[in-house]
Amino acid sequence: MFDSLDISGSGLSVHRRWMDAVSDNIANINTVSSSDGEAFKERMVVAQAVDYGSGEGGVRIAGAEFGSGEGRLVHEPDHPLADDEGYVRYPDIDLGDQMTQLMMAQRGYQANLASVERATTAYQAALQLGKG
């Protein structure tokens, strides 16, 4: 009876974690490191269906993947972390891609939240029928 709430709840959790990962990536898009160090690594959430096709289970976080720490070298000789040649390392994160990921995660979150709200309304209406 409450499977729809469980499935939508798992979707809410996965989409929230996805938004957290993307927000972290965006927040660190201008994080600088020395040219001999690693750049900030983009974080990506891996979701997995639970009991796919059964109508039960929902989704779960299967893990996380990280982008390359190679980044991109930028010539900024005045930066305190610049090497002898004036280079620093920035993460190789595309802001446009991250904004697209954020919108997809947000829409998924909203869709799951709407499902929870509709199921709650339906259960409350069913309880009202029993009172009459």
Q: What pLDDT, on a 0 to 100 scale, did the predictor assign at position 101?
A: 96
Angle, CA of 68, 73 and 74, to the nearest 5°: 140
Per-residue CA distances from 39 to 18, 66, 95 (Å): 21, 12, 16
Per-residue CA distances from 42 to 16, 48, 78, 90, 101 (Å): 17, 20, 26, 11, 12
Structure confidence by residue, pLDDT tens digits, 101-130: 999 999 999 999 999 999 888 888 888 886
- Whether 132 is covered by a domain: the verdict is no
- Whether 65 is covered by a domain: the verdict is yes
- Whether 9 is covered by a domain: the verdict is yes
Q: Count H helices, E strands: the chain?
A: 2, 5
Count of structural domains, the chain: 1
The range of the structural domain enclosing residue 81 comes to 3-127
Q: What's this model's pTM, rounded to 2 decimal places?
A: 0.85
